[in-house]
Amino acid sequence: MDLLFAARYPFVDSVSEIPEISSVSAEDVVSSPYMEDVRRRGLSRVMEALESAEIGTPSLLGKSDRFTEIMSYPYARILVSCVNDRYLTKRYALAEASRAADYLEEEDPKRIDAIARTVGAKTQIVDGEFKMHFADYLRLASRIKGSEWKLVNHDVGKGFVTLPKGKFVRLLQNALQDRIESELPLDVPNAIANAVRGDVDAISYILADRKSRFATEFTGDLNPDHLPPCIRALLGGAQSGTNLPHAGRFALVSFLNNIGMGSEQILTLFSQSPDFDESKSIYQIKHITGELYGREGYTAPECKTMKTNGICVNEDDLCAREKVNHPLIYYRIKSGTGRRD
Amino acid sequence: MDRNSRFLLKSFRKYYLANAPPMPPRYGRREFGFMFFDRDYVQRHMGFQTPADLRRFMVGQVPSHSYYSTAYYRRPGAPTMDEKEWMGADLIFDLDADHLEGADEMTYAGMLEEVKKEMIRLIDTFLLDDLGFPEEGIQIVFSGGRGYHAHVSLQSVLGLGAQERREIVDYVTSTGLDVDRLFPAVGTANKVSDTSDGRRASVRFNREIPPKNSEGWKKRAREGFEVLVEDVCTLPPQELRSKYPTLGKKNASTVANLSNDLRKHRKFIMENDRMNPMDTFRQELLVETMKEDVVPRLAGEVDEPVTADIKRLIRLPGSVHGRTGLRVVPLTRAELTGFDPFLMAVPEEYSDEPVQITMRRPYEVTLKGERFKLNGTVEVPEYAAVFLVGRREAEIGDGSPDPGPF
């Protein structure tokens, strides 16, 4: 493996077999004066991820550039592990995967194949055609919405989905994100953790600040016990930092708005999402609540629609009652509030 | 328990004494569920750790209906779903007579024959060709009731979530299929002309058709298109217009012109995989006919909720169905073709001894090759009595009130 490849994809297992890399100890990385560039780049990987969910791609022309880029990856992982915050970890994994995908777009099929193999996806790249086993395709594509990602709109034969390069790389990005996230946090020895305390504190400070900006409390009387199981699941997902599908976000925002929450309050709930983008989110929320145009917002989808969209989950006895055909009816019964209209 | 239930229970026990249901793969991780002749609830959350445990249960309790979970759990016997801890689930395709058009007018046997045909198409076209499952990776089951199931227990699909399984259903049923992707309109510069503000090329869009060696939906669309072209070129107008309602809605002359034009250019179109020689209106008419009339006929059938449900109980192969007495029969793909449930799913343990029954209404059925045309109080072999009483077509005895157990 050459250093350039390793610098682009430092998560590949065989990177640690490169002599220049394997000879460096963790102690060196965190404390050697010769590793200052490595630590600076490592910290910026995490900070950039935190602030914009993206990590820039520096020049990799010289050998030392490449070395710094490679070694900064394990350093960044030590930092993320020491902070050990679910939101940060998810956002960092997203940014690292998207950085790698930017490089992958430009690679030839052989190299893309090499990366595909490291994430355990069953793929075939033959004569410039990119193919992925349909089960891997579904696992990686189901979180991306839009009819162009439906399985039915792809050529499927003998178990494999034929994909254009761009889509194939986009799916690898999801797989990389899963992998990077699943490896964190690392078990960091105390001596190492102490040595990186300064950088960890800096990240924690920015992280806390970012969270507090969105942490205004909902002061209305939202009792989670009154929420229907579908909305409870979506809310739980949003708060634990899971990426919700579009239909899920729409249902959650419109529902919360229908029961009286304002756009800002709803925004705080979404701020936990790993790909959270404040300006984009507030726009989407205000679109649904109608605030953007100064008119009435959308009404939350009925149970039938929720079912079609696959977000009707954990149906309970109350859901099963004949007249309960809408999440809002469930809420009104549970909370004892009358119909609004 | 009334005398009908007592009779069925006795026959079922004879069956289970001779036949323990084969254990499904990874049975130690599955939940089992049962219904009984003398209890009106479903007994769920049961786990069996050995084949002998299940056999003892079947012979001792003689359930009327037996199910097992398509899902695997860390603790299958735990009372709540959370405690069970889901580990994965078989991928299930269920086809039954409920969705059949005109099922009301069909006999039970006629319905099952239709469902079997659809099952064969589902397996051959979608499961083997497109999704690429190996034949031995698909277990086919006659449900004992109104249809067939296909179980896929391959490692690659066990972890799929409900949403991902729904995508497979959409693939099979052509839900959300973009027909314009299959017949893309490709723009080519047609005519270049000089105008006052420079040279202009007028762009003409021509529809392409999926090439011969395509796979998946493109392959089906190609085949469907070939049939459509053949029909448009050769069928009498009346027949053509009734076979394709989209053409039926057009003027007779429009359709006649389409036929003439297509006969002229057919060779070019099929060889070059594009419709260029025809004018745009006729190209669009063909694509619209594909969308509205042809593609829906190419779609497969499958029961969506069953495939999407990752925690479902499904009938246990090797058990008998409480509403028919028929065996839930595991089948290979080769066996499915010639499978006749009325010959092959009637357990041998039900005897030929005559049993007196009273029909609720006149009924005809062929079982084990023998034709029964029944009305009133009659004597039939035990195997026929089990089927008829199970189906609620007859009652045990001469029609006088049930004396109850001794």
3-class SS string, chain B: CCHHHHHHHHHHHHHHHHCCCCCCCCHHHCCEEEEECCEEEEEEEECCCCHHHHHHHHHHHCCCEEEEECEEECCCCCCCHHHHCEEEECEEEEEEHHHCCCHHHCCHHHHHHHHHHHHHHHHHHHHHHHCCCCHHHEEEEECCCCEEEEEECCHHHHCCCHHHHHHHHHHHHCCCCCHHHHCCEEEEEEEEEEECCEEEEEEEEEEECCCCCCCHHHHHHHHHHHHHHHHHHHCCHHHHHHHCHHHHCCCHHHHHHHHHHHHHHHHHHHHHCECCCCCHHHHHHHHHHHHHHHHHHHCCCCCHHHHHCCCCEEECCCCECCCCCCECEEECHHHHHCCCHHHHCCCCCCCCCEEEEEECCCEEEEECCEEEEECCEEEEEHHHHHHHHHCCCEEECCCCCCCCCC
* Shortest CA gap B344–chain A (Å): 32
Q: Is residue B229 packed enough to be buried (19+ CB in 10 Å), middle (13-18) or exposed (0-12)?
A: middle
Nearest CB among B162, B163, B176 relative to A152 is that of B176
Residues near B27 by Cβ (< 8 Å), separated by ≥ 6? Answer: B48, B51, B54, B68
* Residue A147 with chain B: CB contacts under 8 Å: 176, 178
pLDDT digits (tens, 9 = 90+) for A277-319: 777 788 888 888 877 776 677 888 888 888 878 888 888 888 8
Q: Rounded to the nearest 5°, which phi and psi values hold at B136?
A: -75, -10
Per-residue model confidence (pLDDT) at position A238: 79
Length of chain B equals 406
Residue B405: predicted pLDDT: 64
Mean pLDDT, contiguous 10-residue spans, chain B (406 residues): 94 96 92 93 91 95 96 91 90 89 84 95 97 96 96 95 93 95 88 74 89 95 97 95 96 95 96 94 96 95 91 95 97 96 96 96 95 96 97 92 70
Helix (H) or strand (E) holding A12: none
Nearest to B52 by CA among B27, B77, B76, B69: B27
Around Cβ B137, how many Cβ atoms within 10 Å?
Answer: 16
Using CA atoms, how far apart are residues A84 and A101, in angstroms rounded to an integer? 25
If you search the block for the tokens 């037996």, which residue do you land on? B66
ipTM: 0.90
Could you read off the pLDDT of A22-59 as tens digits, one per residue? 888 889 999 999 999 999 999 999 999 998 889 999 99
Structure tokens at B390: 């199970």
pLDDT for the residue A304: 80
Per DSSP, the residues of A183-227 read T-S----HHHHHHTHHHHHHHHHHHHHHHHHT-PPP-S---GGGS
CB of B2 less than 8 A from some CB of A? no
- Tell me which DSSP letter residue A163 carries: E
Q: Is the pLDDT confidence value at A68 over 90?
A: yes
The verdict on B164 touching A (C-beta cutoff 8 Å) is yes
- Say if the Cβ atoms of A156 and B130 lie within 8 Å: yes
Proportion of chain A above pLDDT 70, given as a percent = 93
Closest by Cα among A339, A333, A338, A300 to A319: A333
Could A158 and B132 be called an inter-chain contact, meaning their C-beta atoms sit closer than 8 Å? yes
Rounded mean pLDDT of A215-232?
A: 71
**Nearest alpha-carbon partner for B210 in B236, B183, B242:** B183
More confident residue, A82 or A20: A82
In angstroms, rounded to a whole number, what is the distance separating the alpha carbons of residues A68 and B175? 50
pTM assigned to the model: 0.81
Say what the pLDDT of residue A337 is: 65
Residue A253 has pLDDT above 60, yes or no: yes
Classify residue B65 by burial, with Cβ atoms within 10 Å: 0-12, 13-18, 19+: buried
Decide if B94 is catalytic.
yes
Q: What is the DSSP letter of A295?
A: S
Q: Tell whether B129 is within 8 A of chain A (Cβ).
A: yes
* Nearest CA-CA partner of A269 in A208, A207, A215: A215
Q: Strand, helix or coil at A143?
A: coil
CB contact under 8 A, B131 and A122: no
Residue A277: which residues within 8 A CB-CB, separation 6 or more?
A53
CB B148 within 8 A of CB B142: yes
The CA dihedral of B65, B66, B71, B72, to the nearest 10 degrees, is: 160
CA-based nearest residue to B228, from B278, B268, B286? B286
Task: Round the average pLDDT of chain A to a whole number and report it.
Answer: 87
Residue contact A152–B130, C-beta within 8 A: no
Distance in angstroms (rounded) separating the CA atoms of residues A43 and A25: 18
Residue B378: count other Cβ atoms within 10 Å of its Cβ.
19
CA A68, chain centre distance (Å): 26
Chain B residues in contact with A152 (beta carbon < 8 A):
167, 170-171, 174-177, 217
Report whether pLDDT(A225) > 60.
Answer: yes
Q: Is B96 a catalytic residue?
A: yes
CA distances from A102 to A69, A106, B394 (A): 15, 7, 71
Nearest chain A alpha carbon to B81: A314
- Reply yes or no on whether the pLDDT at A218 is more than 60: no
Given an 8 Å threshold on Cβ–Cβ distance, is A153 in contact with B181?
yes
Question: Under an 8 A CB cutoff, do B160 and A135 touch?
Answer: yes
Percent of chain A residues past pLDDT 90, beyond the cut: 50
* Cβ pair A72, A38 in contact under 8 A: yes
Judged by DSSP in three states, A126 sits in strand
B303 is catalytic: yes
Give the residue extent of every domain in chain A: 3-84+185-207, 105-179, 224-335
> What pLDDT sits at residue A340?
38
